[in-house]
A and B are shown apart, each in its own frame.
Chain A
Amino acid sequence: MSDVLLEVNGLKKHFSVGKSFLKRNRGLCKAVDDVSFTIRKGKTLGLVGESGCGKSTLGRCVLRLLEPTAGEVRIAGQDVVNLDAKSLKELRKEMQIIFQDPFASLSPRMTIHDILREPLDTHQVGTIEEREAKIAEVMAIVGLRPQALNRYPHEFSGGQRQRVGIARALVLEPKFIVADEPVSALDVSVQAQVLNLIAELQETKGISFLFIAHDLAVVQHICDEVGVMYLGRMVEKAPAEELYRSPKHPYTQALLSAIPVPDPTAKSEAIPLEGDVPSPLMPPSGCTFRTRCKHATTRCSKEVPQAHDLGENGVEHLVTCHLFAD
């Protein structure tokens, strides 16, 4: 398949915890454990899961902001994991990231102009005039007025700051952007504005996104495919339409039912999840979700479930759960 932009194969990221001079090695945290997926050109994969499930770590490993422990990442056929520093810098132009917190991810001492100029200077793109023209162009795309260029981040609201973050990711005209919870810190009324902006970028620029979120409702309208993660593993992955129509994994179903229903007359039929995500330092044996799953059987504690393809008519719908074995 030539239209595949990003290919991730068996990606793993393990952190050793408490390994220091005085402390004993307390163990291994498997933040991302054997995750594989592909993103085609101009398409978006949504990655959903609770805090601590490894979705941000995965996003950073893909961009090599963190060094993966094992596995393969290819962007446009190029191996990212084993790239030397110089070629990696070249490749950085093609892959950018939008961070979650628009308050922490912009330097308070730099004007918006400086923030947008920095990546262009770092990568020596074009002449000075061309760089300025590029800055003006992205400002218009994200819907900020040119007067904003000389102002500082603290003068803007959360939604506007997130637009600056998006503009910064756009100046280098990347092919691929990791959006790490770009709307989680925003008011609901502003979330929709930012989501629409991202949808527009997909259409006009043909950029591929890896869109990370903790809320399934947020990603529905901008993702072509959705992957659900739990404790470092992908538990379900399917085309967006298919996933929302017939979620298979008990965890996906619980995530969907946890979204508050904005109707006071509706009877809440939520399947509340009991308890918290277990510590990734001591994950449950077998299926890691079994401690919170109402369908759990003895088999779940003994065997690690494998991914089963439940898709029909050539649609891939992967579910990692014993319920669907055989």
Chain B
Amino acid sequence: MTHNEPLLKVDNLTVEFTTDKGVVRAINGVSFEVMPGETIAIVGESGCGKSVSSLSVMGLVPSPPGKIVDGSILFNGRELVGLSEKEYRKLRGNDISMIFQEPMTALNPVLKISTQMVDVIRNHNKVSKQEAKVRAIEMLRTVGIPSPESRVNEYPHQLSGGMRQRVMIAMALSCNPSLLLADEPTTALDVTIQAQVMAEMVRLQKQLNMAVVLVTHDLGVVAESCQRVVVMYCGEVIEQGTVEEIFANPKHPYTQGLLKSIPVVRDKKIPRLPTIEGVVPDLFHLPPGCRFADRCDKVGSECHQGSPVLEGDNGHQVACFHHTKQTSYTEAV
């Protein structure tokens, strides 16, 4: 690991939403770092707060009802929490970009691709419309869209799902951001197109040397493209480490369950697939102690009493009593 400063440093971030039923804490003390040029993955089930984490970085948490109540987000050493909307607008698209899950809803259906891309480029650069359009076409070519000269004049509905996601990527990269947040970029796509888009993202990430935060619920996608993995559950980071460590030696029972549930083609048909029993607890009625305790097969009495904290060295940290107990046991031996 290099000793330079992290590009993005999220520290103890806590976001709350005010709803009809009361205040709910969507993420609770989340911390992670992204080095320049590094790809990290934030993994977890729906509702675990992974999207809220990435939206917070972009300053896109709707407020009200959402509010960052604690923590800091440092980007290039600059504090983003509390930044004015005007300053954020300079940052978005230029330094930090985001790709959303639904390429159909993220693109404006009544504007041509060219209009939308020229908009972004001209917002951050002093260039003429013609120059911006040339750049847009160049960008579309970079992300692998065939005949971009004609495609640029089409509307989003004329493109397929994979094409739309490529346009989203092209748009996000058109101002050379140093950080790209990709919120489930391939979830809405077929496996074949997913493979294409992921390969494209890995290639561009290397070519442009940008940092990528990939938000996903599928650990399978992560293995081939990321260096580090942050696993979230119920608004908290429960395990993080290098991708090799997480896949070879997952310590948290939840991470182990997630790894087992990846759909893979097996050599032999098995009667039942391994699952994580139960459902994610309601954020209004969180169990006391460890939030995963009710679904955990290694649960002990201590799990219901206190919340485990992240422990371990830089390469691999885990928040689980069971794990800590085990290590101390081996240390004693």
Contact = CB atoms under 8 A, between A and B. Distances in A.
A182 interface: no
Interface in B218-255: 218-224, 243-244, 247-248
B45 A189 contact: yes
A187 B263 CA distance: 11
Contacts of A217: 263-265
Contacts of A192: 261, 263, 273-275
A260 B195 contact: yes
A276 B197 CA distance: 12
A196 B280 contact: no
Contacts of A273: 192, 195-196
Interface residues of A, number: 46
A262 B275 contact: no
A277 B190 CA distance: 11
B185 interface: no
Given A196-B272, A196-B275, A215 B191 contact: yes
Interface in A95-125: none
A59 interface: no
A199 interface: yes
Contact of A255 (B45, B191, B217, B221): B191
Interface residues of B, number: 49
A240 interface: yes
Interface stretch (B22-30, B106-114, B155-163, B285-293): B155-163
Contacts of A50: 190, 192-193
Contact of B224 (A160, A196, A216, A260): A260
Given A187-B46, A214-B190, A262 B161 contact: no
A181 to B, nearest CB: 11
Contacts of A159: 279
Given A157-B46, A260-B221, A188 B258 contact: yes
A9 interface: no
Contacts of B244: 264-265
A259 interface: yes
A187 B191 CA distance: 15
Scoring A52, A187, A217, A218 by chain B CB atoms within 10 A of each residue's CB, the highest score goes to A187
Contacts of A195: 273
A191 B192 contact: no
Interface of B: 45-47, 146, 160-163, 190-196, 198-199, 217-224, 243-244, 247-248, 257-259, 261-266, 269-277, 279-280
Interface of A: 50-52, 157-160, 187-193, 195-196, 199, 214-218, 220-221, 240-241, 244, 254-256, 258-266, 268, 270, 272-273, 275-277
